[in-house]
Structure 1
Amino acid sequence: MASKFERGNGNFLSLVEMLEEFDPIIKEHVRRITSENIHVHYLGHKIQNEIIVMLADEIKKELIKNIKEAKYYSIILDCTPDSSHQEQMTIIVRYVKFSSNSIIVEESFLGFLNANDTTGKGLFDVTYAELQYLGLEIDDMRGKGYDNGANMKGLKSLSQTCWESRFESVKAIKLQLDDVREALLEVGETNSDAAIVEEALALAENQLSGFDFLVSTVIWHEMLNRVNIVSKKLQAKDMHLEIAIQEINNLIEYYKDYRETGFPKAIDEATKIASEMEIDPIFKEKRKIKRKKRKDETSSSEEIAFTVEENFRVNFFLYIVDQAIASLEKSFEQFKWYEGLFGFFVSTYVEDY
């Protein structure tokens, strides 16, 4: 108890100092320690840690009890390295807590797990072992979420799954196309590295000066802007499931309309940008590569011939819009499934109560 009444002696001993002002039992205990009447005082750092562990265990038991009463649950995992560079994974359980007059969605932190193997299988094995230890049935899990855990989603890269995050990058390019091109031309004229000069001039003269690049930039900007707006709405603290479903459905309908009417609008906007940059607003004909005919083909085999603009519309514009619609419709179906499941829970438990 040598650190008692010393500055910065920690929260635990500071709490003891405060309690002895009001509690006669604590006051007598402290007196016996300071007068050296006793030497085993249970105020050292080891007993502090034991008390913390005991309290944590009791709290965890109560949380597990609540989760089991709810039966169905979801988990949220997040991998982060600690100060010793050991990969740790936090595990949070989300469940619905029912009472006679309220229904509350609870999120409970259950602890840290050491994750030596950060592959999808490794993280699953650690999580599964912890759920077994806690006595939670994995068959009762109805959802899962990961932060900084792309491995658990099948090893997909960020750009494949979160393409809406590219909005700010596309916006910066679209609004400063002429400046970017001028900067690249300057690099091409002043840099002493031949490889850098070649790459800069190729980007400036071939890429940024192409009308197809201008059109694609306009299309991406419009599509990502719409996703960005909806994404921010979905992140609101007061967002409800039914509103989120409606927002996604509205975005799907917007893209379906954009699929039919968006291409000529993109051409018009790109033409204005091309005029400011003194670029011809035409799609350049690319060199055609002839292929040998297969043995089963005859000279009468019909080939579909597209104009350069129509080819761009079919193989670029329609392709990315259709991909966006398919991705959103998949998310929409998942949200609808959760809405139906939640409705089932509510109706079942309300009837029980």
Structure 2
Amino acid sequence: MLAEFDPVIQEHVRRITSEETLLHYLDPKIQNELIHLLASAIKSEITCGRAKDFFGIIQRIYTTFANSTKKWQILKDNITGLTLKSVSATRWESCVESVKVIRFQCADIREALLQVSDVDNDVKTSSEAKGLANNELREYEFIVAIVIWYEVLYAINLVSKHLQAKDMLIDVAIEKVQGLISFFKGYRETGFLQALEAAKGIALELDISTTFRKKREIKRKRQFDENPDDTNVATQSAEESFRINYFIPIVDQAISSLTRRFERYQHYQKNFGFLFTADSLR
């Protein structure tokens, strides 16, 4: 039953069965609540797992500047037009904005961190700022991850804003989600190369290498029934490993989450055939 999957639908069905309401259709307010839950569910699923380490670094950068007005001023003096925000679990926009400022002003953020490390009297804070500047922000894999996450978050946030419009109708919302699924399917095929190109530009500004670190190979002992050629398989490049083990899972999670919600909301339309839709209100 649909009510089992969605708290808003569950409450609406409860009110109908207990005769607290005679309205068996989903009014615009309920539709908006459904749409809001759709956006929230998608975002929470995509930003779990692999995202924790990434957003942990973003939060560390923010915290370095945020714990004093002096350090925050150093940040403001180095970046223009954008604001670094805390990675809030409840405010999705803050995640997008925090990644955006590092995506487009990475060299400036690094310079600000180095300045903090030079002037801060607290040894721990100074060491943290210097470590972030010279390690994470000089690691090519992290730069590529910044580009990837920004594209993912930006695409979702753009649709999320449409979904939260007061006059958004559920059939239009489903259309928006379907478009987002199509975007991610295309991004899965071409997005990694696009991310590499963008990351190379950032790496050039930072004067760092544009090669992925080669992971240590774990040699496997050949079994007695294997031919020598069986173990002589071409080693997967570090770049391809990053694409397969980092990029693809993130995009696939986005597609999977969106597809489940898309199918669920199609069920809502089917079972609540008297929903407000663009056609029914004409």
Which TM class, normalised by the smaller chain length?
0.5 to 0.7
The reply to whether residue 290 of structure 1 matches residue 226 of structure 2 is: no
The reply to whether residue 265 of structure 1 matches residue 194 of structure 2 is: yes
- Which amino acid letter does the alignment assign opposite residue 187 of structure 1? V
**Match for 1:194 among 123, 127, 130?**
123
Give the structure with the larger strand fraction.
1
1:243 corresponding residue in structure 2: 172
The reply to whether residue 105 of structure 1 matches residue 27 of structure 2 is: yes
Contact kept in structure 2, 1:184 and 1:201, CA below 8 Å: yes
Partners of 1:157 and 1:222 lie apart in 2 by 16
1:317 corresponding residue in structure 2: 247
- Which amino acid letter does the alignment assign opposite residue 125 of structure 2? I
Contact kept in structure 1, 2:28 and 2:169, CA below 8 Å: no
**Which protein shows a greater Rg?**
1
What secondary structure sits across from 1:97 in the alignment?
coil
Cα separation, partners in 2 of 1:201 and 1:249, compared to 1, 3 Å: same
By relative contact order (CA 8 Å, sep 6+), the higher-ranking structure is 2
Contact kept in structure 1, 2:155 and 2:180, CA below 8 Å: yes
Contact kept in structure 2, 1:187 and 1:197, CA below 8 Å: yes
- Which amino acid letter does the alignment assign opposite residue 213 of structure 2? K
Identity %: 36
- Which amino acid letter does the alignment assign opposite residue 315 of structure 1? N
Partners of 1:221 and 1:313 lie apart in 2 by 16
Cα separation, partners in 2 of 1:257 and 1:158, compared to 1, 3 Å: closer
Cα separation, partners in 2 of 1:330 and 1:235, compared to 1, 3 Å: same
1:227 corresponding residue in structure 2: 156
1:281 corresponding residue in structure 2: 210
Once the two structures are TM-superposed, the CA of residue 206 in structure 1 deviates from its matched residue by 1.4
**Match for 1:328 among 254, 258, 271?**
258
Contact kept in structure 1, 2:45 and 2:253, CA below 8 Å: no
- Which amino acid letter does the alignment assign opposite residue 120 of structure 2? N
Contact kept in structure 2, 1:75 and 1:94, CA below 8 Å: no
Once the two structures are TM-superposed, the CA of residue 322 in structure 1 deviates from its matched residue by 0.5
Cα separation, partners in 2 of 1:258 and 1:159, compared to 1, 3 Å: closer
RMSD over aligned Cα, in angstroms? Answer: 3.9
Once the two structures are TM-superposed, the CA of residue 292 in structure 1 deviates from its matched residue by 6.5
Once the two structures are TM-superposed, the CA of residue 171 in structure 1 deviates from its matched residue by 0.9
1:117-128 equivalences under 5 Å are: none
1:338 corresponding residue in structure 2: 268
Once the two structures are TM-superposed, the CA of residue 296 in structure 1 deviates from its matched residue by 8.9
Contact kept in structure 1, 2:45 and 2:257, CA below 8 Å: no
Cα separation, partners in 2 of 1:204 and 1:250, compared to 1, 3 Å: same
- Which amino acid letter does the alignment assign opposite residue 210 of structure 1? E
Contact kept in structure 2, 1:74 and 1:94, CA below 8 Å: no
Task: Provide TM-score, normalisation by structure 2.
Answer: 0.63
1:1-353 equivalences under 5 Å are: 74-75=10-11, 97=23, 105=27, 160=48, 165=93, 166-286=95-215, 288=216, 290=218, 300=228, 302=231, 305-343=235-273
Task: Provide TM-score, normalisation by structure 1.
Answer: 0.51
Cα separation, partners in 2 of 1:264 and 1:162, compared to 1, 3 Å: farther
Partners of 1:323 and 1:273 lie apart in 2 by 26
Give the structure with the larger helix fraction.
2
Partners of 1:248 and 1:197 lie apart in 2 by 44
The C-alpha deviation readout for 1:265-311, integer Å capped at 9, x for no partner, is 1111111122122222222324x163675989968554562111111
Stretch of structure 1 that moved more, 156-165 or 324-333: 156-165
Contact kept in structure 2, 1:73 and 1:96, CA below 8 Å: no
The C-alpha deviation readout for 1:201-244, integer Å capped at 9, x for no partner, is 22111110111111111111111111111001011111111111
Once the two structures are TM-superposed, the CA of residue 337 in structure 1 deviates from its matched residue by 1.0
Query: Structure 1: 5+ residue runs without aligned partners?
Result: 1-71, 77-92, 109-142, 347-353
Partners of 2:26 and 2:274 lie apart in 1 by 15
Contact kept in structure 2, 1:95 and 1:107, CA below 8 Å: no
2:66 corresponding residue in structure 1: none
Once the two structures are TM-superposed, the CA of residue 330 in structure 1 deviates from its matched residue by 1.0
